[in-house]
Amino acid sequence: MATFKAIRIDKADKGTTAALTAFDEAELMDGDVTVRVEWSTLNYKDGLAVTGRSPVVRRFPMIAGIDFAGTVAHSSHPSWKADDKVVCTGWGMGETHLGAYAEKARVKGDWLVALPDGLSAREAMAIGTAGFTAMLAVIALEKQGIAPGSGPVVVTGAAGGVGSVAIAVLSKLGYHVIASTGRMAEAGYLGDLGATEVIGRNELSGPAKTLAKERWAGGVDSVGSTTLANLLSMTKYGGAIAACGLAAGMDLPSSVAPFILRGVSLVGIDSVMCPLVPRKVAWGRLASDLDRAKLAEITHEIPLDQVIALGPQILAGQVRGRIVVKIP
Ligand code: NDP
């Protein structure tokens, strides 16, 4: 029996279990491309999967891990051949399709993106789903007409994965970035990434006024709940907020006032089912608009056998920047 190392999630009497174990190759799911996985990452959703804190895993057994970079081993898909370098994020990997914390992955060729020119496989995963999502959010703001001259842009969950990459990209593009964090001890880190101002998370976490003083033209929000409601109520006339996360909650206790009285737009960001064309655009933009030195600054590397232990930490908001996972 051929096996490979993987983090396997199984259903238990109460909840689920997660273990680094040998996985039988015969159990791999259908797909036309088999990839030797070299790098993966730890995202918030991976924390939910390995801890079983939220039912993101919907098939058992599951291999956790929502994103990988690696090299094609076999392909019957016309776009890919052996030795191609590829990146894959989302599409239900680690949720409904066997995922990335494994030496091998079998996926649909239509899900893959070529490793962007100039990025190493490790750098692509240092970016990972969180960084890709941040780039989708920045592009969404641009589509709403937000430019560096429009006014400041706020980033919430600033010291996390989405937040850190969003700050680095926005500052490189010339925006005045206001970083909102619950960890003021990270103000120096956020300033180094390019934040012009750092504000405390509690300024934005209480119940939102219907409309408040206009503070920013745009925002990237990975927090949700009252924080997103406050962002909307403080957005300047004609501004836009890109909503991509729920670190504080899935609710949105807001009113229509920012939309109908200030023409504010709320744009939803989904990285999982994002179609191929905008995917390629976002990866291309990451290769050109993200400073590599800053990417290195936000990246911390761990081996595969530390992923399960770090799951609770990312859910507790204790992970700074991005964690890249070396696959043996
Ligand atoms: P991280 O854990 O790296 O970052 C989240 C950050 O949010 C934390 O670092 C912390 O930042 C802040 N935070 C945590 N808990 C709270 C809280 N209770 N109240 C306010 N702020 C809090 O996660 P990621 O960056 O990987 O993901 C961020 C969010 O985006 C998650 O909700 C995730 O599910 C979502 N996401 C969505 C995607 C999509 O396709 N839409 C794709 C990827 C992620 P600080 O300490 O600076 O305040």
For residue range 271-298, list pLDDT tens digits in order: 999 999 999 999 999 999 999 999 999 9
> Coil, strand, or helix at residue 285?
helix
* Pairing label, strands 265-268, 235-243: parallel
Round to the nearest angstrom and report the end-to-end CA distance of the chain.
20
Instruction: Print the domain residue range for 146.
Output: 128-268
Identify the CA nearest to 165 among candidates 68, 292, 250, 311: 292
Q: Cα separation of 198 and 180, whole Å?
A: 6
Instruction: Give the mean model confidence (pLDDT) for residues 84-96.
Output: 98
- Please, which residues have CB within 8 angstroms of residue 120's CB and are 6 or more apart in sequence? none
Say if residue 137 is in the same domain as residue 228.
yes
Ligand 1 center to 302 CA (angstroms): 20
11-29 per-position pLDDT tens digit:
998 899 999 999 999 999 9
The pTM of this model reads 0.97
- Whether 184 lines ligand 1, by a CB cut-off of 6 Å, is no
Q: Measure the CA–CA gap between 282 and 133, rounded to whole angstroms.
A: 9
Residue pLDDT, tens place only, 191-225: 999 999 999 999 999 999 999 999 999 999 999 99
Do 135 and 110 share a structural domain? no
pLDDT tens figures, 113-164: 999 999 999 999 999 999 999 999 999 999 999 999 999 999 999 999 999 9
Nearest-CA residue for atom 3 of ligand 1: 160
233 lines ligand 1 (CB under 6 A): no
Backbone angles phi, psi at 239, to 5 degrees: -80, -175
For residue 222, how far is its CA from the centre of ligand 1 (angstroms)? 5
70 lines ligand 1 (CB under 6 A): no
Residue 150's closest CA among 130, 132, 177? 177
pLDDT score of 221 = 98
Q: Is 323 in the pocket of ligand 1 (CB under 6 A)?
A: no
Within this chain, do residues 257 and 142 fall inside the same structural domain, yes or no?
Answer: yes
- Say whether both 89 and 221 belong to one domain: no
Q: Amino acid identity, residue 202?
A: N
Q: What is the largest CA-CA distance in the chain?
A: 65
- Is the shortest distance between the CB of 225 and ligand 1 below 6 Å? no
Nearest CA to ligand 1 atom 4: 160
Summarised one tens digit per residue, pLDDT across range 161-196 is: 999 999 999 999 999 999 999 999 999 999 999 999
Q: Is residue 141 located within the same domain as residue 174?
A: yes
250 within some domain: yes
pLDDT of residue 176: 98
Verify whether ligand 1 is closer than 6 Å to residue 322 (CB atom).
Answer: no
Q: 134 CA distance to ligand 1 centroid (A)?
A: 11
| Per-residue pLDDT at 242 exceeds 90 | yes
Ligand 1 contacts CB of residue 251 (under 6 A) = no
Minimal-distance CA residue to ligand 1 atom 10: 157
- Residue 1: the pLDDT is 76
- If you take atom 7 of ligand 1, which residue's CA is the nearest one? 157
When pLDDT is averaged across residues 92-104 and rounded to a whole number, the result is: 98
pLDDT tens-digit profile of 30-81? Answer: 999 999 999 999 999 999 999 999 889 999 999 999 999 999 999 999 999 9
DSSP for 122-186, please give it: HHHHHHHHHHHHHHHHHHHHHHTT--GGG--EEESSTTSHHHHHHHHHHHHTT--EEEEES-GGG
Are 193 and 308 in a shared domain? no
Centroid of ligand 1 to alpha carbon of 44 (angstroms) = 7
Domain with 16 in it: what CATH number?
3.90.180.10
Domain count for the chain: 2
Query: How many whole angstroms from 220 Cα to the centroid of ligand 1?
Result: 11
